[in-house]
Structure 1
Amino acid sequence: MTDETATPQPEAPQAQGQAQAPKMQILGQFVRDLSFENLLMQKGVKGDVSPEIQVQVALDAKKRPTDHQYEVMSKYTVKSVNKSDKAPLFMIELDYTGVFHIENVPEEQLHPFLLIECPRMIFPFVRRIVSDVTRDGGFPPLNLEQVDFVALYRQEIARRAQAQAAEAPSN
């Protein structure tokens, strides 16, 4: 038996131009604002109630003073009306914020990362809040369908491009 001492091999240096994998950590999340209006109980609806649900989502993000930290705000507006007479049943407005630590994301990819990946990570918590609020408000729990944050991001970019084109002076 030989007694060889293994010397630790130095880690291979990163190839030039090869980026490190992105790192994301949720530091915290919270409800910034929540409103639930049970219009069915306030005004009453006559006849059969067959709900029709409309969901609107708005997203925003901003840099925090600490390095690599960002706030991602999502605003959900959920309206339910009766299919037959369009009488309002309930409305939820939820502003939900996640605080993220993000590293190794190139600057040109940071905006879509913040508005696609971050909301995707906190969406299950939003879904749970909406479900609990509707159940506690006397309705069956509303389980929101998965939101396509990529499509939302593309729509917002297209809207901004259209707005810039409309504002640009014509030659």
Structure 2
Amino acid sequence: MADTPENKADGAAADQTQQPQVKMRVLAQYIRDLSFENILVQKGAQGDVQPEVKVSVNLDARKRATENQYEVITKLNVTATSKSDQTTLFVIEMEYAGIFHVEGLPAEQLHPYLMIECPRITFPFVRRLVSDISRDGGFPPVNLEMIDFVALYRNEIARRVQEQKEGQPTN
């Protein structure tokens, strides 16, 4: 029997149905840990202060006891210093977690998926919280720039490779 266009189309459809489909659901999101330290008020300083903000981000992912469930944690540190004298005005330290159900993903793609796609989903909530916390603390709202989670992931992989080359243990 010759391959006719109809037969080829049926074969392609059969190939697509045999490939596993990636299924992902967000089961929960929550603040694991939060600290806001208003150093400016503690020192009793007053006046109009223009903060310069520095942000550091770390990510962590853990397998949960339930099959195909993972906890992905975005660890954020926001430090605002005075532009005029470089004194620290406030510090926000937050760990924001999401519980994800992920299945149908090849094992070699799971780690990048958890460290890139899952934080992209939770980032708008982290961004809103940081803005609200800084505003409610008496400062201009800190509106975080978008984070390039792909670059963050690549930098972390490169750092780990470099540490292995130097013979240092990785975290």
TM range (shorter): 0.7 to 0.9
Instruction: Tell me whether 1:96 sits opposite 2:96 in the alignment.
Output: yes
Hey, what's the Cα distance between the residues in 2 that align with 1:28 and 1:17? 30
Q: CA deviation at 1:19?
A: 2.6
Deviations 1:61-98 (A, max 9, x none): 01111111000011000000011211111100000110
1:11-160 matched pairs, under 5 angstroms: 14-15=14-15, 19-45=19-45, 49-160=49-160
Partner of 1:6: none
CA RMSD of superposed structures (Å): 2.0
Report the count of equivalent residues: 157
Q: 5+ unaligned residues in a row in structure 1: which ranges? A: 1-11
Q: TM-score, normalised by structure 1?
A: 0.85
SS at match of 1:61: strand
Higher helix share: 2
Hey, what's the Cα distance between the residues in 2 that align with 1:134 and 1:16? 49
Q: 5+ unaligned residues in a row in structure 2: which ranges? A: 1-11
SS at match of 2:112: helix
Hey, what's the Cα distance between the residues in 1 that align with 2:13 and 2:144? 46
Deviations 1:24-57 (A, max 9, x none): 1100011010000011111144775221110000
Q: CA deviation at 1:21?
A: 3.1
Deviations 1:99-158 (A, max 9, x none): 000011110010000000000000011011111111111112111111110010001000
Partner of 2:7: none
Q: TM-score, normalised by structure 2?
A: 0.85
SS at match of 1:156: helix
Hey, what's the Cα distance between the residues in 1 that align with 2:45 and 2:161? 43
